[in-house]
Structure 1
Amino acid sequence: MKKLKVIELFAGVGGFRLGLEDTGNYQVAWSNQWEPSTKTQHASLVYEARFGKENHSNKDISEVETAVIPDADVLVGGFPCQDYSVATTLQNSKGLIGKKGVLWWSIHRILLEKKNPPMYLFLENVDRLLKSPSNQRGRDFAIMLKTLDNLGYAVEWRVINAADYGMPQRRRRVFFLGYHKSTSLYQIFKNKTAKNWIFESGTIASAFPITSTSSKIDSFKITDDLVTVSETFNVGEKLSPFQNTGVLMNGKVHTTKTLPSFEGKGTVLRDILEKGLVPDEFYISENEYAKWEYLKGAKKETRTAKTGFSYNYSEGSMIFPDALDNASRTIITGEGGKSPSRFKHVVQTTNGLRRLTPLEIERLNMFPENHTALEGISNTKRAFFMGNALVVGVVNKIGKSLFDKISST
Structure 2
Amino acid sequence: MQQLKVCELFAGVGGFRLGLENSGHYTVVWSNQWEPSTKAQHASLVYEAKFGPKNHSNINIEEVPTSEVPDHDILVGGFPCQDYSVATTLKNSKGLIGKKGVLWWSIHRILSEKKVKPKYLFLENVDRLLKSPSNQRGRDFAVMLRSLNDLGYAVEWRVINAADYGMPQRRRRVFFLGYHKSTALYKKFKVSTPKEWLLEHGVISSAFPTQSTAQNMDSFFIEEDLVSLSNAFNPDKGLSPFLNSGVCIDGTVSTLKTNPSYDEDCTVLSDVLENGSASEDLFISDADLPKWEYLKGSKKEVRKTKAGFEYNYSEGSMVFPDALNQPSRTIITGEGGKSPSRFKHVIPTRRGLRRLSPLELERLNMFPDNHTKLEGISDTKRAFFMGNALVVGVVKKIGAVLFQKIKEVEK
- In which range does the TM-score fall when normalised by the shorter chain? over 0.9
Q: Which residue of 1 aligns with 2:397?
A: 397
Contact 2:4 / 2:26 at 8 angstroms: preserved in 1?
Answer: yes
Q: Which residue of 2 aligns with 1:107?
A: 107
Shift of 1:93: 7.8
1:144 corresponds to which letter in structure 2? M
Cα distance in 1 for residues equivalent to 2:237 and 2:278? 51
1:118 is paired with a residue whose SS is coil
Shift of 1:223: 1.9
List per-residue Cα deviations over 1:182-228 (Å, max 9, x = no partner): 10100000000000000000000000000122151000000231001
Question: How many percent of aligned residue pairs carry the same amino acid?
Answer: 72
Q: 1:386 to 1:304 in 2, by over 3 A?
A: same
Contact 2:268 / 2:324 at 8 angstroms: preserved in 1?
Answer: yes
2:117 is paired with a residue whose SS is coil
1:303 is paired with a residue whose SS is strand
2:122 corresponds to which letter in structure 1? F
2:281 is paired with a residue whose SS is helix
Cα distance in 2 for residues equivalent to 1:214 and 1:51? 46
2:182 corresponds to which letter in structure 1? S
Q: Which residue of 2 aligns with 1:300?
A: 300
List per-residue Cα deviations over 1:309-354 (Å, max 9, x = no partner): 2111111000000000000000000000000000000000000000
1:287 is paired with a residue whose SS is coil
Kindly report the root-mean-square deviation, in angstroms, between the aligned alpha carbons of the 2 structures. Answer: 1.0
Cα distance in 2 for residues equivalent to 1:166 and 1:126? 20
Contact 2:333 / 2:388 at 8 angstroms: preserved in 1?
Answer: yes
Structure-to-structure mapping, 1:48-67, within 5 angstroms: 48-67=48-67
Structure-to-structure mapping, 1:64-83, within 5 angstroms: 64-83=64-83
Shift of 1:237: 3.3
Cα distance in 2 for residues equivalent to 1:105 and 1:96? 10
1:144 is paired with a residue whose SS is helix
Cα distance in 2 for residues equivalent to 1:349 and 1:290? 18
Shift of 1:94: 5.5
List per-residue Cα deviations over 1:248-275 (Å, max 9, x = no partner): 0110000011000000110000000002
Q: 1:187 to 1:94 in 2, by over 3 A?
A: farther
Cα distance in 2 for residues equivalent to 1:404 and 1:91? 47
Cα distance in 2 for residues equivalent to 1:154 and 1:89? 27
Shift of 1:96: 1.6
Contact 1:333 / 1:384 at 8 angstroms: preserved in 2?
Answer: yes
Shift of 1:276: 2.9
Contact 1:95 / 1:109 at 8 angstroms: preserved in 2?
Answer: no
Structure 1 length normalisation: TM-score?
Answer: 0.99
Q: Which residue of 1 aligns with 2:222?
A: 222
Structure 2 length normalisation: TM-score?
Answer: 0.98
Cα distance in 1 for residues equivalent to 2:368 and 2:176? 25
Contact 1:90 / 1:96 at 8 angstroms: preserved in 2?
Answer: no
1:266 corresponds to which letter in structure 2? C
Structure-to-structure mapping, 1:3-402, within 5 angstroms: 3-89=3-89, 95-402=95-402
2:74 corresponds to which letter in structure 1? V
1:395 is paired with a residue whose SS is helix
Gaps (5+ residues) in structure 1?
A: none
Contact 2:224 / 2:251 at 8 angstroms: preserved in 1?
Answer: no
1:140 corresponds to which letter in structure 2? D
Shift of 1:90: 6.9
1:408 is paired with a residue whose SS is helix
Q: Number of matched residues?
A: 409
Q: 1:95 to 1:21 in 2, by over 3 A?
A: farther
Cα distance in 1 for residues equivalent to 2:278 and 2:21? 32
2:36 corresponds to which letter in structure 1? P
After TM superposition, the structure 1 stretch with the greater mean CA deviation from structure 2, 84-93 or 191-200, is 84-93
Shift of 1:4: 0.1
Cα distance in 1 for residues equivalent to 2:360 and 2:12? 19
Gaps (5+ residues) in structure 2?
A: none
Cα distance in 2 for residues equivalent to 1:196 and 1:39? 49
Cα distance in 1 for residues equivalent to 2:208 and 2:408? 19
Cα distance in 2 for residues equivalent to 1:305 and 1:360? 38
2:258 corresponds to which letter in structure 1? T
1:184 corresponds to which letter in structure 2? A
2:322 is paired with a residue whose SS is coil
Contact 2:134 / 2:237 at 8 angstroms: preserved in 1?
Answer: no
Shift of 1:238: 2.0
